[in-house]
Homo-oligomer: A and B are copies of this chain.
Amino acid sequence: MKARLRRLLGTPLHPLLERDIYLSHRDLPEVLDRYERGDPFFLYTGRGPSGEVHLAHLLPFELSSYLQQKLGVEFWVQVTDDEKFLFQGALSLEETRRLGRENLLDLLALGFDPKKTHILFDTASIRSLYPLALKVAKRVTYSTAKAVFGFTPQNNIGSIFFTAIQSVPAFLPSARAGRPVPCLIPCGIDQDPHFRITRDVAEPLGYPKPALIHNRLLPGLSGEEKMSSSAERKDGVIFLNDPPEEVDRKLSRAFTGGRASVEEQRRLGANPEVCSVWALWRSRFAPDPKEFAEITRTCRSGELLCGECKRRLIPRVQQFLGEHARRRADVERWVDSAIVDGPPGGTA
């Protein structure tokens, strides 16, 4: 699969692909076959606005940005302000809407073509989403939704319906074009079940089954399997708006694959596979393959100690966040005009 991607996208591949952060897929060859026959696909991914954006949230957007640049494809992003309101008891709809727009700026600042970017902001774009969501919903029983998502009778009726809304972006470009337009969804491996229903209803509704490409989870800095701000401790997460001193503090304390003592590490080497700092180098902070290989080799050999490794990473992360903040201001100029049916507003 990587050999095929290299032929299509050039070499080296984006680190997310080359370094197996995107680790599995469903039906990707079919989408590429069609692309090579002149039938472009579109990319769809989403963001549930329940808080600030952190580094782990970037992965599907960074791959999408890369694929858009290389292949010129359309990109659809869904902001599920409805979902986060329905599933998170404490959040108001006003708050998920506000976060949704803030989050969009952070995510789109990775670099997208404004002319080929379409935003579905659920409560604002619902006039476009709802008719197709009804067609999905009519084909999904409570029994099926319960089997996939583990609902109980205490779940609210909005959360049960929501999977229909989340399926729509995979079909909307086909419905608009009046012909099948293949869809590729980059997403975290933990999001796969959400799209099982989408894939199941696609063909009965006359749309192509969306293909998926899954990234592995970015580990948290405190040693968690997943970098997630829903954890109690926010120190495991680097937010895009963290000031430089916060980046320094968090990374200086980050969990690594180092040994109990310097002497032991020099002798036995460290273990990058379990290291949250190495995971960051791997994902985006050592884009040069030679540099990344060198970091990995010297980590394993014991030449590079964890303190030194962190001191090299910290300014890279600080610099990225600073540049990102500047690119975010550019996005502000076009984001509202890319929202299907217009920006959110009015009575919520």
Within 8 A of B (CB), among A197-226: none
Q: Are A82 and B151 in contact (CB under 8 A)?
A: no
Q: Are B163 and A161 in contact (CB under 8 A)?
A: no
**Contact pattern, A 125-142, Cβ under 8 Å of B = 1, otherwise 0:** 011101111110111111
| A85–B156 CA distance with the chains assembled, in angstroms | 22
For A172, the chain B residues whose CB sits under 8 A away are 347
- Given A85-B138, A176-B347, also A131-B93 (CB < 8 A): yes
The reply to whether the CB of A341 lies closer than 8 angstroms to some CB of chain B is yes
- Given A124-B127, A160-B160, also A142-B153 (CB < 8 A): yes
Counting from the closest, the 7 A-B pairs by CB-CB distance are A137-B158, A161-B161, A143-B153, A131-B348, A126-B130, A127-B127, A175-B347
Task: Provide the main secondary structure of the chain A interface.
Answer: helix
For A230, the chain B residues whose CB sits under 8 A away are none
The reply to whether the CB of A21 lies closer than 8 angstroms to some CB of chain B is no
Question: Which A residues have a C-beta under 8 Å from some C-beta of B?
Answer: 82, 85-86, 93, 123-124, 126-128, 130-135, 137-143, 145-146, 151-161, 163-164, 172, 175-176, 341, 346-348
Question: How many chain copies?
Answer: 2
Q: Are B123 and A86 in contact (CB under 8 A)?
A: no
Task: Give, as a whole number of angstroms, the nearest-CB distance from A209 to chain B.
Answer: 20
- Given A137-B86, A175-B347, A347-B175, also A142-B160 (CB < 8 A): yes
For A128, the chain B residues whose CB sits under 8 A away are 346-347
- Given A127-B127, A157-B164, A163-B157, also A82-B142 (CB < 8 A): no
A161 to B, closest residue via Cβ: B161
For A348, the chain B residues whose CB sits under 8 A away are 131
| A27–B346 CA distance with the chains assembled, in angstroms | 31
Give 29 A-B contacts (CB < 8 Å), ordered by A residue.
A82-B130, A82-B134, A93-B131, A93-B134, A93-B135, A123-B130, A123-B134, A124-B127, A127-B341, A127-B346, A131-B348, A133-B158, A134-B158, A137-B156, A137-B161, A138-B156, A141-B153, A141-B157, A142-B151, A142-B153, A142-B154, A142-B156, A142-B160, A143-B154, A157-B164, A158-B161, A160-B161, A172-B347, A176-B347
| A327–B338 CA distance with the chains assembled, in angstroms | 43
| A86–B138 CA distance with the chains assembled, in angstroms | 6
Task: Give, as a whole number of angstroms, the nearest-CB distance from A94 to chain B.
Answer: 9
| A277–B341 CA distance with the chains assembled, in angstroms | 51
| A175–B152 CA distance with the chains assembled, in angstroms | 31
| A145–B161 CA distance with the chains assembled, in angstroms | 13
For A143, the chain B residues whose CB sits under 8 A away are 153-154
Task: Give, as a whole number of angstroms, the nearest-CB distance from A131 to chain B.
Answer: 4
Residue with the greatest number of chain B CB neighbours at <10 A, chosen from A151, A175, A346: A346
Partner of A138, one of B139, B140, B146, B158: B158
| A139–B93 CA distance with the chains assembled, in angstroms | 13
Q: Are A139 and B164 in contact (CB under 8 A)?
A: no
12 A-B pairs besides A123-B127, A142-B142 with CB distance below 8 A are A85-B134, A86-B138, A93-B135, A130-B130, A139-B156, A141-B156, A142-B151, A142-B153, A142-B155, A146-B153, A157-B164, A160-B160
